[in-house]
């Protein structure tokens, strides 16, 4: 509970970020998230340094000139940008929506593992997901699509200590009462 309540999306991230080997190690744990069929319909593309700059240039080329510098700066907000590529298996009996749900579970598990290691992360979407230029830059096939990215690095020490309050979610839970359904069926059968 402490890990879940203290994990926050970190907008400002500095070095260090996990090395590729550490990211892969953590991904091995995150990949144990529920995944019907064990399809793992995803892959990650890790961008650092010049890779982030190339991504920024690619996205900047798709916006008006007065927005280009801001778009480039956004790609540099963390030392590691991990782009999540969704690779659905459309020929499989597990439906695409369920493959997407499994992929989402893996991402959250990854965020929790990063948090447990002292790293911060934030999930980013936006223009990155729909950009034909990014699709080409990353060498994606027509069957692949970008779902978003995790900006990863080390958060400010104060940001790490912030604890999220637990919300009252009792209105989001209901208990099924089979006796009510049975009585309703009996009444319909009896013509009541």
Q: What is the pLDDT of residues 7-66, one digit of tens each?
A: 888 888 999 999 999 999 999 999 999 898 999 999 999 999 999 999 999 999 999 999
Q: Tell how far CA 41 is from the center of its chain.
A: 13
Q: What pLDDT does 147 receive?
A: 98
Q: Between the CA atoms of 19, 148, 63 and 48, what dihedral angle is there, to the nearest 10 degrees?
A: 0
Residues 150-171 have pLDDT tens digits of 999 999 876 655 667 788 888 8
Domain at 2-189, CATH homologous superfamily:
NADH Oxidase (3.40.109.10)
User: How do 145-155 and 120-124 pair as beta strands?
Assistant: antiparallel
Q: What is the pTM of this model?
A: 0.86
Question: What count of other Cβ atoms lies within 10 Å of the Cβ of residue 3?
Answer: 10
Question: What count of other Cβ atoms lies within 10 Å of the Cβ of residue 57?
Answer: 15
Domain segments of the chain as ranges? 2-189
Residues 105-127 have pLDDT tens digits of 999 999 999 999 999 999 999 99
């Amino acid at each position: 509970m402490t890990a879940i309540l203290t994990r926050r999306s970190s907008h400002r991230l500095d070095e260090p970020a996990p090395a590729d080997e550490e990211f892969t190690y953590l991904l091995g744990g995150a990949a144990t998230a529920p995944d019907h069929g064990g399809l793992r319909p995803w892959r990650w593309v890790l961008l650092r340094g010049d890779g982030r700059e190339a991504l920024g240039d690619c996205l900047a080329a798709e916006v008006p000139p007065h927005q280009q510098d801001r778009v480039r700066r956004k790609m540099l907000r963390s030392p590691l940008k991990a782009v999540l590529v969704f690779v659905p298996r459309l020929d499989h009996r597990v439906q695409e929506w369920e493959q997407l749900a499994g992929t989402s579970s893996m991402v959250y598990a990854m965020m929790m593992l990063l948090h447990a290691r002292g790293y911060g992360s934030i999930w980013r979407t936006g223009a990155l997901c729909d950009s034909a230029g990014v699709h080409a830059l990353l060498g994606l096939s027509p069957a692949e699509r970008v779902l978003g990215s995790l900006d990863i690095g080390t958060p400010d020490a104060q940001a790490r200590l912030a604890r999220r309050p637990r919300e009252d979610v009792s209105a989001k839970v209901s208990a099924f009462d089979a006796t009510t359904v049975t009585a309703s069926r009996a009444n319909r059968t009896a013509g009541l």
